[in-house]
Structure 1
Amino acid sequence: MRQMVGLAQRRGIFYFRRTIPETLRAGMPAVLGTAGAGIFDESAPVSLKWSRAGREFWVSLAPRDEDEARSRARRLDGEADALIRIAKRHITLSAKPKISELDDTTIQGLVTTFRHHKLAADEARRRGAEPLCREAFDALGQEIAAREAELRDANARGDCAATHFDIDAMMTVLDAGLNIAFGSPADRRLYLAFVEAELEVMTIIRGRQSGVTRPTTARTSSDEPRSQDRPSRPKREKADGPTPEQILEGWKRDQTPTEKTFYAFSSKVRRWTAFLAERGVTFDRASLSDASDWKIASLVERSAKSVSNHLYAVKAIYGWALANGKCPVNPFSGLKQPRAAVKGRRRSTKRDFNKEEAARVLTAARDRTGYQRWVPWIACVTGARILEICHLERSDIVSSTGIYYFRRTTEYDSEGKEAQISEAKKAKKTSKTKA
């Protein structure tokens, strides 16, 4: 099983780290260079876009707050999921011969899938666990207008670059198992068709932005070309996809999880398939819209943390199934975690003394002797920590130009040179560490 989100801390700074599978390390720099805005959020404070992809991803998360760092790490983990998925597809396709020509039927089928991905992603963005705030809604409107202007300009000039590195376009081709030669006639025809298809999608998305209800419908046979429009081909029986139980067994044999992990993942997959059964959808035909609806419905009965665990487990199973050709798409790819599960972690219940409580402590300290008298008062006047105050010795009281002050650390002398630590202070530090 892959390494989970890792938070490493160095000198108070949090870092995101995730190991890159050894077989993907050679091709990961090329994937990073071609991945576009569909993977990386240009407005995000941190991204994997400029990371060094060697043995692992290693990115500074900047803030010293653990909750904020963990939130950023979860988003980076989603970027890493997409990058690893693309790299796996590239390796699989590299063994296949390159394609220079595509027939109209194949292009139309790819365009249908691409259009569905675009609409489903927009719907998931609007129908998340919480409504879009006013700032996010306005930003989305500006993003839609800018993207539509870019597509219209590209369509007028016959430029297919506008969709060439789009994540939905890229995954549509990779999931179809097509190794299309870059710059070939097939490459140009397909991505120009993607430009036209996204322009049609933008009309629907603009309607959604103004409040018009335009749900994303599941792809059906009506989306495919009519039989009289496509060349005849020999008929074959349609094979049923593998059942969730078969996928779980394959994942178990391949990944060798512990019995506890396998039981936990299996129970979550069963809840997901029961939800799909009520909708008449099979495991291998689920969409991003189905996944988003399951998340929202689950939040009514379960905590955000529990729902987050469910989403992670089912997403991991789909990831394995997709990588091994058992499912056409991962409906949980790109689905956001419940916000409360990210922001509600490790909230401290401690609080500072109020003025009345602090006054009572200091007043009581006047009647004590030794450290019970002086530690509270030194803490009040200097703001030093209890441990720093208890480490003070008589030699730590020094003067400069007639002003006395505490030298709270004895590792360095007044000139900045390293000094010796007394045996008594070493003993204090050792006892504190053991405690």
Structure 2
Amino acid sequence: MNDMPYHPRLVKRGTVFWHRAAIPTDIRKTYPKTEETFSLKTRDPREALRLVRIEAARVDALFQAHRDERARLDAPALDTLTEEQVKTLADVVYATILAEDESERLRGFGEQDFDLYASDIDGVDEAARAIYARGAIPQFIPALFDETVKALNVNWRLKECSPTWPIVSRAFLAATIKATAAKRQRQAGDIVETPEVDVRGLKATVTTAQTITGLYELWKRDHVANGKAAKTVAEYKQKVDAFVAFLGHDDATRVTHGDVATFCDNLRHEQNLSAKTVNGKYLATIRTIYRLGKEKAVVFEDPTANAKVRVPKETRERSKGFTDEEARAILSAALDDPTKLGRMAEHNKLAIRWVPWICAYTGARAGEIAQLRKEDFLREHGFDFIVITPEAGSVKTAQYRKVPLHLHLIDMGLLDFVKTHPGGPLFYVPNDRKKSNGHKTSDNTRAKVGEWVRDVVGVQDKRIQPNHAWRHRFKTTARDVDIPQRYMDAIQGHDDGSASADYGENTMKALYREIQKLPRYLGC
């Protein structure tokens, strides 16, 4: 018959019972032991059960104390304390000394112990007065500060260079000197009450921890107010949610540099994301919201400040733009009978017909072309052009630009197609329900064209992007025909960052002249 009493932490080694507890997962990385295991020093099952219950409660208190201490250490260090805060802490120090003194007296003194205790009071008083007189900060003051705020369950940590330390030191020393005077009165038989300190006001000064999601919401508010892309809002939300899920909490003040580094390592090596994606997307997002938080004074530390993901230099084995053969294959296939595309939606068939050709002659982003509307095709001073504008949808630079049409596009019937269109978007059916999270219906169109390039045309080289490669090819071709850099940038919506670029205008006449230099794609 098994006489082993049950308790999840009770184990038997030989004939002796032991307490054994695994470290909780939330503190396992920082707790100083791998488990709390020790002998209960009894062979009696009933006694072991009684003891293990007591020890389990004690160990749980140790775990909670460790959590509280980690929360305090991970909280942002304070620059200063107010005069009222320092006074309240000093009052607590005074009351604590007298409470400890009262406990000693409740236990009682023998004659010899009473004299030794008086001598100890004199020694403490003498040392405290000497330090107080010299204005020094003794080594025990930071420890006493930590002990006091921990006892109050106040998550405070004062910066080492804080100008408040001398004030704290003098207040604590003064409290000690006053307490020794009160203890001397008690030694003489006088009645000195141990005061009760009202710390409610002190605790009320502790601000609620800022959340990581809250930092994101602050960024989102500014981003939307500034008219920036809704797509970025959805992208940032995904990155922030992933970070919070990884941490297992949403407290922005608890995040350390190590947390950020470990998150990046997890993305890199466990989730197999590229270094470029981790650095340019995930880390960049977390860094942006923390920097904004510091600007708005809702957080005081940026745990991403020294975080870095090293991005290896890209090994380039070919041009990022389409080769002549690839370009001809795509443009020729775009001219095929659309019935070959089967039951594909009509607007997607039209996109496959025109988006690659327009990209080839404008170097625009495929998404910018996929979102074109009938009203974006204009004629001015005898020149036909398109307007790429944020009003139609996402534009990476958030700036409108006019791009003249190459004569080959007009000869192929692009303007005739546009004239017969009833109005609105040319290549997608609007669906406003999908705009809330940054997704646009035109994104589906762009993706469909990319899939067609891969699956139907057969351009499957993963080293190039099926739509974006037109932008690289445009730049290469433009250099071949001596289109100046400033006109290339104006046509493609690039910004060279120079101050001179803001002076003067690139007229439609000049842009039209330059874009007609591009050779026609013949034989397609």
Q: Please state which band the TM-score falls in when normalised by the shorter chain.
A: 0.3 to 0.5
Structure showing greater radius of gyration is: 2
Return the TM-score normalized by structure 1: 0.33
Return the TM-score normalized by structure 2: 0.29
Of structures 1 and 2, the one with the larger relative CO (CA 8 A, separation 6+) is: 1
